Structure 1
Amino acid sequence: MAERIDAGLAKRIRLVVLDVDGVMTDGGIYLGATESGEPVELKRFDIQDGLGIRLMKEAGIHVSIVTGRESHAVRIRAEELEIDEVHQDRTAAKLGTVTAMLERLGIGWEETAFIGDDLPDLSILRRVGLPAVVGNATSDARASAVWAAEKHGGRGAVREFAEALLTARGEWAGRVEAYVREREAGSERPGG
């Protein structure tokens, strides 16, 4: 199991920002085209990560996506998970995107967690209160993190982070029980 997150730090976190390729996915990109020539990009997302995102949101933590690659697959997944803040822009620096989002939401860097995996994430990892990486993160990204998942990106690392964060806040067990009761009552919403 990965290191624990300090309880005081965990309780300060109001926003979790997720990278996509290599964090929410395994980093692989499936490219193709329809018969009419329309490009198609597919990505594989982990269902357990989705449930972890849901539980963080239910705990009152904002969750957003910031990625430098535009993909309709990301938009679809974000809609399924009801993530309101989704920023996909090849031309914008991730740091500027996150800075503008924090200013708009009135959230400080010290109240923000970021999960990354590679060089494009370093400027954010070096600023947030809780810099986290997936198990297969590059050595440079890992050196900037205070928490590292054992699981790889796209293979449950986001769920592992959600569990570590909510456990440190003293909320994981309660969130799990609320989820189970909701499902038993038949009032379930999409989970993952």
Structure 2
Amino acid sequence: MTPFKDLQALALDVDGVLSDGRLYYGNNGEELKTFNIRDGLGIKLLQQAGITVAIITGRTSSIVARRAQELGIEHIIQGREDKLSALRELCAQLDLTIEHVAYMGDDLPDRKAIIAAGLGATVADGSDDVKAVADWCSTKAGGAGAVRDLAEIWLKTVGLWDQLVEQQA
């Protein structure tokens, strides 16, 4: 039995996971974030494999909503510091038990969700306290392909990677 076999959904933190965790502000007060295109493809590949991808973030940002829309992510929970509570709400929306959902975060607000999830994942530059409780840690930093790294290992482990790669060509 693999840790990925029974998983049906992935919930992702944004700052420090989908982005590098830095906040950029323009002269007119606008907030800017950078996203890794490879993470986006990893998300799309998971979706093609029938895995629901969701976002749970402590901040509220129209940039996150836009990126989620570009990637076809329908479940977005913003402005929630209590990530475990938000993860439980997501599970109820998806009619899944928490054991069937993976969660990827990088810092202390994510820790309880990482512990509770069916697979708790983190990024290479995640906090030591999060790394200590995570089931899986990427070799890549947040915003630098960590989500793609997770998607690849997940899809390879369940035997879908080669088929999805062929569909991309």
TM-score calculated relative to the size of structure 2: 0.96
Determine if the alignment matches structure 1 residue 126 to structure 2 residue 115: yes
Aligned residue for 2:95? 106
Whether the aligned pair in 1 keeps the contact of 2:102 and 2:119 (CA below 8 Å) is yes
Calculate percent identity across the aligned residue pairs: 43
Give the 3-state SS of the residue equivalent to 1:28 in structure 2: coil
Residue 68 of structure 2 is aligned to residue 78 of structure 1: yes
Q: Secondary structure at the match of 2:77?
A: strand
Residue 78 (structure 1) shift: 0.5
Corresponding residue of 1:45: 35
- Structure 1 residue 155 and structure 2 residue 144: aligned? yes
Distance in 2 (CA, whole Å) between partners of 1:132 and 1:43 is: 22
What is the CA-CA distance between 1:71 and the residue it aligns to?
1.1
Give yes or no for contact 1:65–1:87 (8 Å, CA) kept in 2: yes
The amino acid of 2:42's aligned partner reads G
1:61 is matched with which residue? Answer: 51
Structure 2 residues not aligned, in runs of 5+ = none
- In the TM superposition, 1:150-189 aligns within 5 A as 150-180=139-169
Please state whether the residue corresponding to 2:116 is helix, strand or coil: coil
State the structure with more CA Rg: 1
Cα distance in 1, alignment partners of residues 128 and 18 from structure 2: 19
Q: Runs of 4+ in structure 1 displaced over 3 angstroms?
A: none
Q: 2:4 aligns with which of 3, 7, 10?
A: 10
8 Å CA contact retained: 1:41, 1:72? no
- Post-superposition Cα deviations, 1:50-83, rounded to whole Å, max 9, x if no partner, equal 0000000000000000000111111111110010
Q: CA deviation at 1:97?
A: 1.3
Tell me how many residue pairs correspond in the alignment.
Answer: 169
Query: CA–CA distance in 2 between the matches of 1:63 and 1:168?
Result: 18
Conservation of the 8 A alpha-carbon contact between 2:124 and 2:141: yes
Q: Which runs of 5+ in 1 are unaligned?
A: 1-6, 181-192
- Which of the numbers 143, 153, 174 marks the counterpart of 2:132? 143
TM-score (norm 1): 0.85
